[in-house]
């Protein structure tokens, strides 16, 4: 399976035409998508081939020129319906304009051919919704692919796309990457602008970002997506990485026992870290020195408060509340019931955790955690009810391991960590200080080249 950089090099040299690439892409989608249900709202094949012919005839030289791409169904792409996985929007008119990130990819030459499936409103790391149904894991079609960028990750893993966009509030780039043997980067907050809608100052939990099959491809897409937007008050510049050097990786494992983990996950991630050690990096066990429960309480307060502000207008629509799923109702009711003092208290905890994380980055260069606390679960389930016999108290507690980076807006790179006893993949999060995105990607490329599991193809292919 060729990388995006290889495909684009062939397009630039003339060894491959955009028309031939588009035909190959649609052939692959026809073979694989009926099994996995990752791409939705697909452009008619003839219309897509017309786009490719125009690309072949153009003198444009954008970094993504001629490359087919599908946009996560939470973002607007001109000419495509943004359903958000909800019946409330399933019959909307096509979006009249691109979101900022989509416009940047299109300006770089990408050819938008459809959308990728996501959970309803992006809630829950399991890509299923009442509009399109579930996206299935190509490594085992009876399992979930994660979410909310599950459609994007599966499209990458199965060769239907060479690059994909995603978004991440609570592991939505990292979890599906980990469960499909691909790469996903949650960028530093402010590096990739979101839309200048509603509040732009207080809500700092979610961000858009790139997904790919290799770190080098990830870096290329991040370079297209990132950059200042004058309408956004927060901007984090991303300097290019320094010359490669050995780094210190702090392995947080299960956070001193605070995170329940299914059997085999920590062992698989430890083997991945051994591969980093073999490349010259120092891996050291590290105690976070901060309460996981305090981080969790801060997170679910700020998350519910933010999500409820987005869902409240929908509740006011005719049949609005009855159209919302259980996850949305849970977030909505919690958020609406919060006082300003509760939100402030949660942000104080966040500030304290940021201070402690800064202290950790004085000891190590990178923090490491698994991308999930469970293996890919049954696709028919709404969410896991327990981990290793311990009952879970919310629909997303099994994703608690992604919260420390999300709460602080830190860059977190999900890399494939290998496969468990059942042949299912899991990922490893590499977390750095703000602005270290390209350094994380740089350290991941030699790892990608060194380990044998990154070249494996899923059975669904």
Which helix (H) or strand (E) covers residue 313, if one does? helix 292-315
DSSP letters of 126-168?
Answer: S---TTT-PPEETTEEEEE--SSSHHHHHHHHTTS-SEEEEEE
- Separation of alpha carbons 150 and 136, rounded Å: 9
Q: Let me know if 142 is a catalytic residue.
A: no
DSSP 337: T
Cβ(48)–Cβ(68) below 8 Å: yes
Catalytic residue among 86, 125, 148, 149: 148
Pick the catalytic residue from 86, 149, 172, 194.
172
345 annotated active-site: no
Strand order in the sheet with 111-116: 39-40, 111-116, 68-72
- Is 323 one of the catalytic residues? no
- Please, which residues have CB within 8 angstroms of residue 104's CB and are 6 or more apart in sequence? 224, 225, 227
| Nearest-angstrom CA–CA distance, 243 and 442 | 9
Angle at which helices 292-315 and 340-363 cross, to 10°: 140
Contacts of 56-60 spanning 24+ positions with Cβ under 8 A: 56/17, 56/18, 56/19, 60/109
Distance, first Cα to last Cα, the chain = 10
> Would you say how long the chain is, in residues?
461
According to DSSP, the residues that pair with 444 across neighbouring strands are: none
**Active-site annotation, residues:** 72, 148, 172
């Amino acid at each position: 399976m060729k990388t995006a950089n290889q495909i684009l090099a062939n397009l630039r040299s003339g060894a491959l035409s955009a028309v031939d690439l588009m035909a190959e892409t649609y052939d692959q989608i026809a073979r694989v998508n009926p099994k996995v249900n990752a791409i939705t709202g697909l452009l008619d094949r003839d219309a897509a081939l017309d786009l490719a012919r125009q690309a072949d005839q153009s003198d444009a030289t954008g970094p993504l020129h001629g490359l087919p791409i599908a946009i996560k169904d939470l973002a607007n792409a001109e000419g495509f319906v943004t359903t958000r996985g909800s019946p409330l929007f399933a019959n909307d008119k096509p979006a009249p304009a691109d979101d900022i990130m989509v416009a940047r990819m299109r300006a770089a030459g990408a050819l938008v051919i459809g959308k990728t499936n996501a959970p309803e409103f992006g809630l829950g790391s399991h890509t299923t919704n009442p509009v399109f149904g579930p996206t299935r894991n190509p490594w085992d079609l009876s399992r979930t692919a994660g979410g909310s960028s599950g459609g994007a990750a599966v499209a990458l893993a199965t060769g239907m796309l060479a690059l994909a966009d995603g978004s991440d509030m609570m592991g939505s780039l990292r979890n599906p990457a980990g469960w499909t043997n691909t790469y996903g980067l949650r960028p530093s907050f402010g590096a990739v602008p979101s839309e200048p809608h509603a509040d732009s100052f207080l809500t700092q939990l979610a961000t858009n970002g790139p997904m790919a099959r290799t770190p080098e491809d990830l870096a290329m897409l991040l370079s297209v997506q990132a950059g200042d937007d004058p309408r956004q008050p927060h901007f984090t510049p991303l300097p290019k990485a320094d010359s490669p050097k050995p780094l210190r990786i702090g392995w947080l494992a299960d956070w001193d026992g605070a995170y329940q983990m299914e059997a085999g996950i920590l062992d698989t991630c430890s083997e991945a870290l051994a591969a980093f050690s073999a490349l010259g990096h120092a891996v050291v066990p590290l105690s976070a020195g901060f309460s996981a429960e305090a981080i969790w309480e801060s997170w679910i307060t700020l998350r519910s408060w933010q999500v409820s502000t987005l869902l409240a207008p929908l509740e006011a629509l005719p049949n609005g509340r009855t159209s919302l799923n259980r996850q949305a109702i849970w977030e909505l009711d919690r958020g609406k019931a919060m006082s300003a003092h509760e939100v402030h208290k949660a942000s104080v905890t966040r500030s304290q955790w940021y201070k402690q994380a800064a202290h950790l980055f004085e000891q190590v260069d990178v923090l490491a955690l698994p991308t999930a606390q469970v293996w890919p679960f049954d696709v028919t389930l709404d969410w896991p009810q327990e981990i290793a016999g311990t009952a879970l108290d919310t629909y997303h507690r099994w994703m608690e391991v992604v919260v420390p980076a999300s709460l602080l807006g830190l860059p977190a790179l999900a890399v494939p960590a290998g496969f468990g006893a059942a042949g299912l993949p899991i990922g490893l999060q590499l977390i750095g200080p703000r602005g270290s995105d390209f350094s994380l990607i740089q350290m991941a490329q030699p790892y990608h080249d060194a380990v044998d599991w990154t070249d494996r193809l899923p059975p669904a292919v």
